[in-house]
């Protein structure tokens, strides 16, 4: 995502700058969202630090609740029950 759109979007910023052992600054892309959502001020500081190091695009994670992904399974489970148990029974396990 372009770095200019991060502040206005509903996302977690995953890109940050780390200092290597030789003193060089390098971009680092986390794979998980932070445990605590940073405040607007903290996010602005992170974005400004990235901009000063000429980073134009960053990795982000959209803030989607887990239920968004689980909701489509509710209806089939209500109709058929535990799908895994049915598959294991058919497979003979």
Cα separation, 93 vs 81, in Å, equals 18
The pTM (predicted TM-score) of the whole model is: 0.66
The tokens describing 50, both together, are 């990235």
Cα separation, 63 vs 44, in Å, equals 18
Q: Is residue 92's pLDDT more than 90?
A: no
63-77 per-position pLDDT tens digit: 888 888 888 888 888
The tokens describing 88, both together, are 């294991």
Task: Identify the pLDDT of residue 35.
Answer: 86
């Amino acid at each position: 995502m372009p770095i200019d759109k991060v502040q206005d979007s509903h996302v977690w910023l995953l890109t940050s700058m780390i200092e290597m052992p030789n003193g060089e600054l390098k971009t680092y892309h986390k794979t998980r969202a932070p445990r605590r959502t940073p405040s607007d001020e903290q996010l602005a500081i992170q974005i400004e630090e990235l901009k000063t190091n000429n980073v134009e695009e960053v990795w982000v994670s959209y803030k989607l609740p887990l239920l968004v992904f689980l909701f489509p399974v509710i209806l089939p489970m209500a109709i058929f029950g535990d799908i895994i148990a049915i598959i294991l029974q058919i497979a003979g396990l």
